[in-house]
Structure 1
Amino acid sequence: MMSDEYLVECNIDDDDDDEDEDKDDDVKEMHPSPPPPPQFSSTPSLTWGEIRDPCGINKHLKIEFSDVLAEPVSTHSYDRVWVYSGIGFESTRLWGYRCLTALCAVPLSCLCGCLFALLACMHIWCVMPCIQVCHSCLPCVRSLWMSAVNIFIAPFCTSVARCCSGVYVVFSKE
């Protein structure tokens, strides 16, 4: 199934018949071609590589000035102060993020890559083999466990239940 961004609208004009009578039959009006699909377009547009949060993991970080600071109707600062505060907030947020990512992004991405590689290695070579061994040995262990329960624990619990079955507890108010 194709997404809507790959669909191209083609307009068909029936009014061209009137204009064709006036023109020579060999010469027809050239309509501009439809735009190319985004992957073949030379104009810059958001492509898959430019969408940096395709799964929406960080939707909660879309913070604007009005999400953080707001003045009630009863008290207002000067208009210029409010405008410059907004500009200062947005600029500091943007450039602070850029500077921090310039310093921290590459080392942290390498650290996260090593961590996920370690987790994948541990999962593939340690965890899954242990789980598979347990699954293959579990029927034997299950039969041994059921035998132990039926030989030792079940008779003990049955005797305790028979002993306690004759005990009656009566509550009375004195």
Structure 2
Amino acid sequence: MDTLKKDEDSEEVEIDLEDSSDPEESEDGEEPQTLWRAQPSLDEEENIHTSTLVEISDTKPLITSRDARGVNNCLKVGFEDVIAEPPSVRSGDRVWIWSNALFEVSRVWIYRIVTALLALPMSAISGLLFGLLSCFHIWMIRPCIHCVLIGNRWIQGFWDIMLQVVVVPFLTSAGKCCGSLGIHLAKE
């Protein structure tokens, strides 16, 4: 007979597969031998924001957080976000329940179908694009910018001197001249 035991101290689930007619008695008064031990199942749907009418996945996800940085927070859309009936007009309860179920099922399955068709090609194209951009930036653009900055240190120095000698005194004196002006508005 199969028996299920759960220790209060441990978070493991023990299943004894020993064949015994009386689960209370065991040979020599010993604990029954544990042949199989499994971890308790974690509540997988804690972080999934969907309706209870539709089960998103029947397999354990490989990656627990697929949007860890919250890039697609704007896409957390439920049935109540799209279709909402005010209290003054209401459809029948069955219509509301079935339309909710149809919305959730069609949303999930259309996403799965389109993802199955486009995910791999778009991943390959995105990987190629970001790889090329990274390579060009690291090996071509950044060294060119550094070469230009190193070669043009004299232009930076000259520009800094021109600003300090000509522009700053001119703007300072213009500010002092215009600072003493006052405007008084009077209604006639």
CA distance in 2, matches of 1:144, 1:45: 64
| Alignment equivalent of 1:68, drawn from 73, 82, 96 | 82
For structure 2, the 5+ residue unaligned runs are 1-8, 11-38, 40-58, 168-188
CA distance in 2, matches of 1:60, 1:144: 49
Using the TM superposition, give the Cα deviation of residue 64 of structure 1 relative to its aligned residue in structure 2, in angstroms.
0.4
Matches within 5 A, 1:158-169: none
CA distance in 2, matches of 1:116, 1:135: 26
Matches within 5 A, 1:90-169: 90-142=104-156
Moved more, 126-135 or 138-147: 138-147
What stretches of structure 1 move > 4 A for 4+ residues in a row? 44-48, 143-149
Find the residue that maps to 1:80 and give its secondary structure: helix
Are positions 1:80 and 2:94 aligned together?
Answer: yes
CA shift in 2, pair 1:148/1:81, >3 Å: closer
Cα offsets for 1:84-142 (capped at 9, x unmatched): 00000000000000000000000001111011011101101121011110221122334
| Alignment equivalent of 2:73, drawn from 59, 65, 76 | 59
Aligned residues: 143
CA shift in 2, pair 1:74/1:139, >3 Å: same
Matches within 5 A, 1:6-45: none
Structure number with higher helix proportion: 1
RMSD: 4.2
Which one-letter code corresponds to 1:97 in the other structure? Y
Which one-letter code corresponds to 2:139 in the other structure? W
Using structure 2 for the length normalisation, give the TM-score.
0.53
CA shift in 2, pair 1:146/1:60, >3 Å: closer
CA distance in 1, matches of 2:97, 2:86: 16
Structure number with higher strand proportion: 2
